[in-house]
Amino acid sequence: QNESKDVATRLTEVCVVLETNIPYFDWVGFYFRNGNKEELKLKAFAGEPTDHEIIPFGRGICGQVAVSNKNFVVPDVKAQNNYIACSIHVKAEIVIPLFVNGENIGQIDIDSHTEDPFSHEDELFLEWINENVSKIL
Ligand code: SME
């Protein structure tokens, strides 16, 4: 229990650093598979609290990445039909899966209030973040 608290604290610090320093990162969170259930659970975040702490596999951008194991860059959330809105201010989203021993165990999810803000460099940067996070879990 203490150990998992430490991990959540460290993940929150990562979220805060990203949300504070990158102007177009307005909400940053880490979701992980909830035990052996077919759902994601929010473990740490920075930004406004969300109602969506549990997301079933397949639902929304996050739930789709849980199934596809692929990066999902959404330049315009209005153009998505399988999307879970967390805030009316959100215009774009990026979700990058997090792998441990080749298994997709979670993801970093970022919302932006700016339209079409995410570049290929953001994808590479967030993949690098996830590789490093996978070592502290
Ligand atoms: N928009 C996400 C839900 C999570 S919130 O962005 C925090 C989705 O469609 O999966």
User: What secondary structure does DSSP assign to 46-69, as a single string?
Assistant: ESS--S-SEEETTSHHHHHHHHH-
When mean pLDDT is compared across 4-18, 19-33, 62-76, 119-133, the lowest value belongs to: 4-18
Distance 62 CA to ligand 1 centre (A): 6
Torsion sign over Cα 127, 128, 132, 133: negative
pLDDT score, position 104: 98
Using CA atoms, how far residue 64 sits from 3, 38, 81, in Å, is 29, 12, 12
Binning pLDDT at 50, 70 and 90, where does residue 22 land? very high
Tens-digit pLDDT profile for residues 70-117: 999 999 999 999 999 989 999 999 999 999 999 999 999 999 999 999
Q: Which domain holds residue 114?
A: 2-133
pLDDT score, position 102: 97
CB-ligand 1 contact for 65 (6 Å cutoff): no
ipTM score of the complex?
A: 0.97
How does the average pLDDT of the chain come out, rounded? 96
pLDDT score, position 28: 98
pLDDT score, position 125: 98
CB-ligand 1 contact for 61 (6 Å cutoff): yes
CATH number of the domain that residue 64 is part of: 3.30.450.40
Are the beta carbons of 97 and 70 closer than 8 angstroms? Answer: yes
Residue nearest to atom 6 of ligand 1 (CA): 86
Query: Residue 3 pLDDT > 70, yes or no?
Result: no
Binning pLDDT at 50, 70 and 90, where does residue 21 land? very high
**SS3 of 86, please?**
coil
Place of tokens 């021993």: 101
Distance 6 CA to ligand 1 centre (A): 25
Q: Which atom of ligand 1 lies at the shortest distance from residue 64's CA?
A: 10
CB-ligand 1 contact for 108 (6 Å cutoff): no
Domain count, the chain: 1
Residues in CB range of 16: below 8 A, 6 or more apart = 28, 46
Distance 85 CA to ligand 1 centre (A): 6
